[in-house]
Amino acid sequence: MPILLPFHKSILEEIHDPATSDLLILARGLGLRRTICTLMQIYDSKQSLILLLNASPEEEIAIGDELGIMGCRRPGLRIVGYEMGKRDRQDLYKNGGLISVTSRILIVDMLQSDIPTELITGLIVLHAEKVTALSLEAFIVRLYREKNKAGFLKAFSDQPEHITSGMSPLKNIMKELQLRRVHIYPRFHEDVKNTLETRKADVIELYQRLTEPMEAIHHAIVQCMTITLSELKRSNKTLELDDLNVESAYFRSFDAVVRRQLDPVWHKVGPRTKQLVGDLATLRRLLTYLLSYDALAFHAYLETLVASNTTTVTGAAKQHQSPWMLTDAANIIFSTAKRRCYVLTAPKPTSSVPERQVIDVDDEDAWAALDEAHGLIGSNSRDNGKKKEEKKPWVPDNMSPVLEELPKWDLLADVLQEIEEELMKQEAVSTRPPTRGTNTVLVMTSSPRSSTLVSEFLGEMDGTAPKGSRGRSMMERKLRTYLYWKGQNARQKQPRYQQPPRFSAPQSKSSSQPEGEISEALKRKDKTRQERSANRRRVRGGAPMTVAPSKPAVVDPKVESRDDGDDIAAFLASQPSDLLVSSDADALLLETLLSSEAEIDFDTHYGLLAPSQTVVVRAYTDDTDDQILAELQPRFIVMFEPNLDFVRRIEVYRNSNPGMGVRVYFMVYQLCCEEHKYLAGLRREKESFEKLIKERGSMLLPIFEDKHAGKSDAVIKTISTRLAGGRKELSTMPSQVIVDMREFRSTLPSLLHASGLLVIPATLTVGDYILTPDICVERKSIPDLVASFNSGRLYTQCELMSVHYKQPVLLIEFEENKSFSLETVAESAKSYAKPTSKYPAKKSTGPTDSDRAPPSIQSKLVLLMLHFPRVRIIWSSSPYGTADIFNDLKANAFEPDPNRAIAIGAEEDTEAGAGINAAAEELLRCLPGVTAKNVQYVMNKVGSVRELCELDRKGVQGILGVEPGNACYDFMHRGERKTGGL
């Protein structure tokens, strides 16, 4: 059971009272889940009903496990899922206790009175920062407070950065949750500060510099981000983008901030702006991958970026390419990333003078990288000869593997060696093992992929190798996989080229591009540059000859990578087919497993390891890390990558275990985005808490009024304007709307309830919303509209609405604060744009991109209206507008009947159809126009298939609809028409 620290106890003393409702905002890493579980343990009783809302499935499992450890096992936390039936949920609610339920299930149960709302003891809401006026949690709180004034509501959040955007964000959250008290506990709170500074862990900060190629790539990526951001600001001067800088672009929320500002004018911005927004996210990922991926994975990712940026899905050349890829900095990124993996040399000359070779150069950067590569491999001729003898058979002849390793790998190996020496020293000094903690070493990384990479390195590390090559065997295995992947890609593209690929080193752009794509001026410029470079010679004895890449403005990364792939494919084609698939190491391992020695030394190979020999590598998660620390009890922790949350978890862990020494190795790359991001995150959180504290001091608390006060006048409404000049009649039924169960994923039911309508959930076969006995509405968001057209589902839905309702309506709803347009201005004017080229475009014999493109949404809507003339289309700019439209449509109309709405189009019970001829029903299903949705309706209208065949065209159309009726009638009477013609 976790120990509560003094500041945890002070928090619980303030919020544990069931008579109050509170909002707690706690800094991440200070034990929010521990506080919530302790509070739920206090409330755990069969006489109380406590509901946990807004928890993810992982959080539900973790909270249930922690409650079980704390003693809440009978029955503990019960989880309500979609597989649980209605009666089971009703019984569960009546028995009371701690229950975790999704917001969508709870809202339906509250509307259908399956849960006794007035008997709910309290609600516990997680992730309060996500609560808005459109969220289901706000809908639940409204229904909860309508019938239950005495119950409590406790809301929790550990994301202060999400509550600082917009106008009075804290006040809006408290208004939607109907709260009047808020407690803010940052890291610099007096209670937290006094508690955590009592005992401090032994922290060793290790600052590691990047290698020179990594520094060059890092600087180039930041330069590309600066260029992209300035271009975005320049092309959108009307928007407030001054606060956006490169430092804020390090965080994932930066994309959401930029998109939020561009959403209202998203249909007006051109494809260039959209490309820039996507490029910022790509460059941010590149910064992260540079520090966490190995050199081969990073280079492979760059190659996929180049391929996706230059080629469309159909294989044609992409028109709007990323601007940053055309800069000099991008060339540095691609060329340096490639040199981190391998260096390609020219074919061996046929002359008999092998010791001195002439190398053409264009810049000195390639030589610097080559010098570094040879420094890793060996500088003298004897080492080179030895390395040449050890060259793997699956490596192409003109490829010299460099395989640069991440600098932190060597640092991690040194740290683990130091920890091992420290443990041996402690064992030699003291005969008794430590009373608290274990000797397990915990290594924390930023992502599961990074943890997998670290585990592979530690598993295959060669401790006797020099620094920079301890993971050589792992990198060679990854190079083998990379060559296989590269060769397969080149083989797939090979039939498109006229000539077979030749085995050569990458040349300049002038020799690799087609002849017609370069102007005469560029040819003269290239010729002059080649003559100038031919005069510059550099002689190196014993070094392999290489051709350095040409100037950044001329090299095309796509061409260069394509040549590499062709060379690799040509090499693999000349080798055995199983060269890269089978592995000698795998065969050796299999032979060892089958030998008898493995059976004799079973404990040695497969037995349990002592804690001192165990290294646990994990990725940072959420509050589950607190549970990991409590279970493993490590005395040595290595933070492979910095994380602000985990630093505080270590502080809490250290103070929760007095008497146990904890040593933390804090590893960070110096003078790069990793250090800047860590410091910027710390500063952002501090500023967010300061804003929240300032807003709490000047916040006007809302007054919650009882909405039932004026309900007596709500039932008095105008039924018909023809009754004595529109006098008001007394209606016993409240104004209501029937909503399909599946629609509770959207925000519209919540707004309908807030507008004063009674929302009745039901399982509808036809339509999504039933407003009146005659009006049926099928609601479609823009993504759903596109998917429904592609699948043909919308045709069937409009067909059923036209058959069963007098006024079928198709509602096309757009999102709030987004463009009110089906397509962008650039897409609509694509076919009418003037040619930008000076010369007329060449005539193409094949279909153009516009001919291959699918029909637009507008054309599909026109076809839909021609097929179903009675279907009306309503355009709504937001869910708020939809709620107003629904209220206007319901004016002066009767209320719908839920039982009739459910029965329309629904399948009958199996007992009701017991006397039906199964063969006749199967024959009826095979007719055109008869579907699984309307087959029961057709069987109710006609007694047999013969009766359906004897109906005239209008009779069949009256049952199936116009178009389906025509198809069915023509199919049944096709033979008669031919006979009549004869």
The mean pLDDT value of the chain amounts to 79
Q: Which residue has the higher pLDDT, 476 or 717?
A: 476
Please state, in angstroms and rounded to a whole number, the distance separating the CA atoms of residues 254 and 282.
12
Beta carbons of 788 and 780 less than 8 angstroms apart: yes
Spatial neighbors of 266 by CB under 8 A, at least 6 apart, are: 274, 818, 819, 824
Q: Which of 58-67, 159-168, 333-342, 569-578 has the lowest mean pLDDT?
A: 569-578
pLDDT of residue 382: 42
pLDDT of residue 243: 64
Mean pLDDT of 916-940: 80
Token duo for residue 475: 């990198």
Distances (CA, A) of 16 to 8, 48, 74, 151, 457: 12, 15, 22, 13, 48
Task: Report residue 117: phi and psi, to 5°.
Answer: -60, -35
Token duo for residue 16: 């544990």
Beta carbons of 328 and 373 less than 8 angstroms apart: no
pTM value?
Answer: 0.75
pLDDT of residue 714: 45
> If you search the block for the tokens 């990725």, which residue do you land on?
619
Please state, in angstroms and rounded to a whole number, the distance separating the CA atoms of residues 766 and 770.
9
Q: Strand 716-717 relative to strand 729-730: parallel, antiparallel, unpaired?
A: antiparallel
Q: Strand 342-344 relative to strand 399-401: parallel, antiparallel, unpaired?
A: antiparallel
Q: Strand 537-541 relative to strand 356-360: parallel, antiparallel, unpaired?
A: antiparallel
Q: Assess whether pLDDT exceeds 70 at residue 982.
A: no
Q: Is 143 exposed, middle or buried (0-12, 13-18, 19+ CB in 10 A)?
A: middle
User: Rounded to the nearest 5 degrees, what angle is found at the Cα of 609, between the Cα atoms of 608 and 610?
Assistant: 125
Q: Assess whether pLDDT exceeds 90 at residue 877.
A: no
Q: How confident is the model at residue 432 (pLDDT cuts 50, 70, 90)?
A: low
pLDDT, tens digit, 9 for 90 and up, residues 336-384 = 999 999 998 876 554 444 444 444 444 555 556 566 655 544 444 444 4
Please state, in angstroms and rounded to a whole number, the distance separating the CA atoms of residues 98 and 68.
12
pLDDT of residue 718: 44
pLDDT of residue 142: 92
Rg (CA), the chain: 35
Alpha helices in 758-792 (DSSP H): 782-791
Q: How far from the centroid of its chain's Cα atoms is residue 21's Cα?
A: 34
Most confident of 164-168, 210-214, 425-429: 210-214
Q: Which residue has the higher pLDDT, 649 or 540?
A: 649
Please state, in angstroms and rounded to a whole number, the distance separating the CA atoms of residues 343 and 506.
11
97-101 sheet: strands from edge to edge: 77-80, 97-101, 49-53, 122-125, 152-157, 22-26, 182-185
Please state, in angstroms and rounded to a whole number, the distance separating the CA atoms of residues 125 and 131.
9
Q: How far from the centroid of its chain's Cα atoms is residue 290's Cα?
A: 20
Q: Assess whether pLDDT exceeds 50 at residue 429.
A: yes
User: Rounded to the nearest 5 degrees, what angle is found at the Cα of 401, between the Cα atoms of 399 and 404?
Assistant: 150
Please state, in angstroms and rounded to a whole number, the distance separating the CA atoms of residues 902 and 416.
67
pLDDT, tens digit, 9 for 90 and up, residues 447-493 = 999 999 999 999 999 888 888 889 999 999 999 999 988 888 877 76
Length of the chain as a residue count: 982
pLDDT, tens digit, 9 for 90 and up, residues 505-563 = 334 333 334 444 445 555 665 666 565 544 443 333 333 333 333 333 334 444 455 55
Please state, in angstroms and rounded to a whole number, the distance separating the CA atoms of residues 210 and 291.
9
Token duo for residue 337: 């990333």
Q: Which residue has the higher pLDDT, 275 or 370?
A: 275
Q: Assess whether pLDDT exceeds 80 at residue 606.
A: no
Q: How confident is the model at residue 433 (pLDDT cuts 50, 70, 90)?
A: low
Q: Which helix (H) or strand (E) segment is 79 a member of?
A: strand 77-80
Mean pLDDT of 804-830: 73
Share of the chain above pLDDT 90, in %: 40
Alpha helices in 355-446 (DSSP H): 365-377, 381-389, 407-429
User: Rounded to the nearest 5 degrees, what angle is found at the Cα of 765, between the Cα atoms of 761 and 769?
Assistant: 45
Q: Which residue has the higher pLDDT, 709 or 621?
A: 621
Q: How confident is the model at residue 850 (pLDDT cuts 50, 70, 90)?
A: low
Q: Which of 284-298, 359-373, 547-561, 903-917 has the lowest mean pLDDT?
A: 547-561
Alpha helices in 820-944 (DSSP H): 825-828, 849-852, 857-867, 879-889, 898-903, 918-925, 935-941
Q: Assess whether pLDDT exceeds 60 at residue 18.
A: yes
Within 13 Å of residue 517, how many CA atoms lie on the same side as its CB? 6
Q: Which residue has the higher pLDDT, 628 or 383?
A: 628
Q: Is 167 exposed, middle or buried (0-12, 13-18, 19+ CB in 10 A)?
A: exposed
pLDDT of residue 831: 44
Spatial neighbors of 859 by CB under 8 A, at least 6 apart, are: none
Beta carbons of 160 and 696 less than 8 angstroms apart: no
